[in-house]
Amino acid sequence: MMVRMRMMLVVLATGPFAMACGQSLSGPDDLSLSQSWSQEPNGWSYPVAVSVPSVDMPAGGFPVGIVLHGNGGNGFQMLNLGGNLLSDHILVAPTGYLNAWNLCGENSEAPDIAMLSDLIVQLTGFSNVDAEHIRLIGSSNGAGLVNQAFIELDHPGLDAFVAIVSQMNEPQYHQGSFYRPSGNTDAPLAFCGYDEEVVPAQGRKYLSMCNHNDSVVPYNGGPAVGNFFLPAEVAIHQVALQQGHTGPPVSGEPLGTSGLTEFSYLEGDVVLIRGGAGHGMDAAQMEMAAAFLALDEDPAPPSSDCLADLDGDGQIAVGDMLLLLGEFGCVLGCGLADLDADGLVGVTDVLALLNVFGTPCEQGPSAPVVMADSTYALLVDTAIVYAQGLSHETLNSPVSEAMPLLLDVYVPQGAGDNRPAIVIIHGGGFTGGSRSGWRQVELAEYFASRGWVAFSIDYRVLGDKGTVPQQWVDSVMSTDAAPSSMGQSIAIYPAHRDAKAALRWVAAHAEDYGMNMDYLTVGGGSAGGITSVGVSVTDPEDFRDELTTAADPTLATTHLDQDYEVHTILDFWGSQVSVSLLQGVYGVNRFDAGDPPLFIAHGTEDATVPYINALLLQSTWNNIGVPHVLHTLQGEGHGPWSATVDDADGNPQSLYELAFDYAVAQQMLVVQ
């Protein structure tokens, strides 16, 4: 669970900094990150964001995570990624010159390594900093700078490096050695000007996160983004050799059902994780990175309900008694066997164990189990009224009537409780479509037959003339868009209002259908994809509280007091237009690091919702640091449900299979 941070600030850090013991790092004004070079001969100060945990400071101070953004990003955005990985760390997130880091071919020629070196020296002077645990984490272009820092920086406090979706490039390692540039980097030069051989310091941990389907930095190496990359497995082997490994490259080991493969050297101190999250990270990779960066601590004691389960088998039995007796008489540092925490394993501990002997440990519900193949017969309940909505004679006219809003539910028979849920939203350009369209039915049956409880919903479309806040209408009408686009933009509001009402209805009936709402997926195609994004990332009050129950009495039928949280979005050829409209009307930005992981499938020849919309979604999720994957469907137009994408072994996978695998990986479901 992420620890809430006390401070998240971004300023130009030009103020004084602490170099004497006694002063705590509290914000960016305590740092001075100024450098000068040919582009800024009078000096330039790197903007920096700083976040300090609100929990009590450890005895040795807080460890520090320096997090580095990708090209076009900024430091403040990276606090979100850092908070997910390093909730117990001070986070320091500088922003590069021209929002980039100077590696090869960028517009920036800034001395970023010199800036990092100066930053680390400054950090070690603060009383609340653990100077022995300073770690560098970067994504994409920021990972390239992490790799260069691994090569060049030898400060003893630097103990861990994490490079996300960018392995070593050829300028950094060529002709059997690591290199740095002796002057400016310049793409036309041999190896971009990296001409000075360097021997990196040893004794540091290094993690590389790369994806076999990365379309930006290719896993198998080659030219990309103005540089030339080593194959990821070659790069990690060279890092391992430099850190002390001897011998050939190791083989990859699959990590359970996560879809990840681990290449581990030096007892896990140098690691490559191969995944399938495109140019990003999924939840399983995030968890691996957090575990890699965790500081060594004594094992956490078992929960208070099961302190005596010393062997962790869920039952307090003979094995636990034998373990305790093996520690009998231990004084101090006795670990789990000291049940009463008095510093001694003695008679009171034996009595405590006997008091609960034979008792099973209570455990919370485990992750739902789903089936790899169609397994379950389905019970389909149709035309359930989940709410009502007003339908006006003309737009917002006083003459209106309440119309029922319907959904169908597909229940897997014999699957038991603890079911994941998926809500499917139909397309149709907000002018048509139906919950019972054959694609919606097929998608619902696909997931439900494998263990999900699936819902396919209707919502009001343009011809239903649902109620729309006047501010929304005025904002849309003030544009110079075509009348058809204006109509769709107006229809987006009631469509989203209804889809959110359906999600609240599903949450309110979770117990009725044996669902675990911690595993909720929302998905759809075209307008359904747009709505899936919109209802998943906006705040609970959006598309709800802009109208009062006096203006729209049917709101009272929509479970207004019920919450829900989407955990995975499946977007087929949709866009983020509804969230952009919300921002344009009300001046709010709803994209943030708490948004769900996103699956995108989109055709390059889509003339209805152009492919650029997929790239915009990808860019947004990159910027907020949330896992996502983009499946580019080359040559496909709008609605190519039958398209396939080759997996890592060249085997074609359907879009349903890809969506299944993504939801499983993001929610860490158990597949049988």
Helix or strand run (H / E) with residue 84: helix 75-85
How far is it, in rounded angstroms, from Cα 309 to Cα 332?
Answer: 20
Q: Using an 8 Å Cβ cutoff, are 307 and 362 in contact?
A: no
Distance of CA 506 to the CA centre of its chain: 24
How far is it, in rounded angstroms, from Cα 314 to Cα 461?
Answer: 52
For Cα atoms 31, 35, 41, give the angle at the middle one, nearest 5 degrees: 145
- How high is the pLDDT of residue 302? 39
Tokens of 170: 């050829």
- pLDDT tens per residue, range 117-165: 999 999 999 999 999 999 999 999 999 999 999 999 999 899 999 999 9
How far is it, in rounded angstroms, from Cα 67 to Cα 49?
Answer: 10
Residue 268: DSSP 8-state: G
CATH 3.40.50.1820 segments of the chain: 9-293, 369-671
How far is it, in rounded angstroms, from Cα 199 to Cα 561?
Answer: 61
* For residue 453, pLDDT beyond 90: yes
Percent of the chain with pLDDT over 90: 70
How far is it, in rounded angstroms, from Cα 530 to Cα 438?
Answer: 19
How far is it, in rounded angstroms, from Cα 205 to Cα 67?
Answer: 16
Q: Using an 8 Å Cβ cutoff, are 423 and 502 in contact?
A: yes
Q: In CATH, what number does 369-671 get? A: 3.40.50.1820
How far is it, in rounded angstroms, from Cα 252 to Cα 393?
Answer: 64
- How high is the pLDDT of residue 306? 66
* pLDDT bucket at 288, cuts 50 / 70 / 90: confident
- What stretches of 359-516 show up as alpha helix (H) in DSSP? 438-448, 470-477, 483-508
State the pairing for strand pair 419-425/400-412.
unpaired
How far is it, in rounded angstroms, from Cα 286 to Cα 283?
Answer: 5
- How high is the pLDDT of residue 313? 66
For 40, 174, 186, 207, 220, the CA distances from 229, given in Å and listed in that order, are 30, 11, 16, 17, 8
State the pairing for strand pair 453-457/400-412.
antiparallel
Write the DSSP string, 470-507.
Answer: HHHHHHHHTS---HHHHHHHHHHHHHHHHHHHHHHHHH
DSSP, collapsed to helix, strand or coil, labels residue 76 as helix
Residue 623 has a CB neighbour count (10 Å cut-off) of 18
- pLDDT tens per residue, range 381-413: 999 999 999 999 999 999 999 999 999 999 999
How far is it, in rounded angstroms, from Cα 54 to Cα 485?
Answer: 47
Percent of the chain with pLDDT over 70: 91
- pLDDT tens per residue, range 334-352: 667 777 666 677 877 788 7
Q: Using an 8 Å Cβ cutoff, are 233 and 272 in contact?
A: yes
Specify the residue for token string 């109509």: 487
Q: In CATH, what number does 9-293 get? A: 3.40.50.1820
- How high is the pLDDT of residue 18? 40
For 233, 376, 454, the CA distances from 523, given in Å and listed in that order, are 35, 21, 11
* For residue 362, pLDDT beyond 70: no
- Phi and psi, residue 194, nearest 5°: -80, 90
* pLDDT bucket at 84, cuts 50 / 70 / 90: low
- Phi and psi, residue 166, nearest 5°: -165, 105
Half-sphere exposure of 430 (CA within 13 A, CB side): 29
- How high is the pLDDT of residue 398? 95
CB contact set of 254 (below 8 Å; sequence gap of 6+): 260, 261, 262
Strands, DSSP E only, in 506-573?
515-525, 568-572
* For residue 206, pLDDT beyond 60: yes
Smallest CA-to-CA distance from 90 within 129, 35, 41, 47 is with 129
- How high is the pLDDT of residue 181? 92
621 burial level (CB within 10 Å; 0-12, 13-18, 19+): buried
Specify the residue for token string 């263990």: 451
* pLDDT bucket at 379, cuts 50 / 70 / 90: very high
* For residue 595, pLDDT beyond 50: yes
Tokens of 218: 């290719």
- What stretches of 265-341 show up as alpha helix (H) in DSSP? 283-293, 318-326
Q: In CATH, what number does 304-355 get? A: 1.10.1330
* For residue 321, pLDDT beyond 90: no
- pLDDT tens per residue, range 492-547: 999 999 999 999 999 999 999 999 999 999 999 999 999 999 999 999 999 999 99
CB contact set of 503 (below 8 Å; sequence gap of 6+): 423, 520, 522, 535, 564, 566
- pLDDT tens per residue, range 11-64: 333 333 344 345 889 888 999 999 999 999 999 999 999 988 877 888 889 999
- pLDDT tens per residue, range 63-83: 999 999 999 888 887 876 666
Specify the residue for token string 């000291």: 338
Residue 589: DSSP 8-state: -
How far is it, in rounded angstroms, from Cα 240 to Cα 325?
Answer: 43
Helix or strand run (H / E) with residue 664: helix 655-667
For 138, 151, 353, 365, the CA distances from 146, given in Å and listed in that order, are 6, 9, 50, 39
Tokens of 71: 């090209």
- How high is the pLDDT of residue 9? 35
* pLDDT bucket at 252, cuts 50 / 70 / 90: very high
Task: Give strand pairing partners of 94.
Answer: 48
- pLDDT tens per residue, range 565-587: 999 999 999 999 999 999 999 99
CATH 1.10.1330 segments of the chain: 304-355
- pLDDT tens per residue, range 455-478: 999 999 999 999 999 999 999 999
More confident residue, 238 or 290: 238
First vs last C-alpha separation in the chain? 28
* For residue 668, pLDDT beyond 90: no
Q: Is the dihedral of CA 197, 203, 204, 207 positive or negative?
A: positive
Q: What is the mean pLDDT of the chain?
A: 89
Tokens of 483: 């009348």
Specify the residue for token string 């907000």: 430
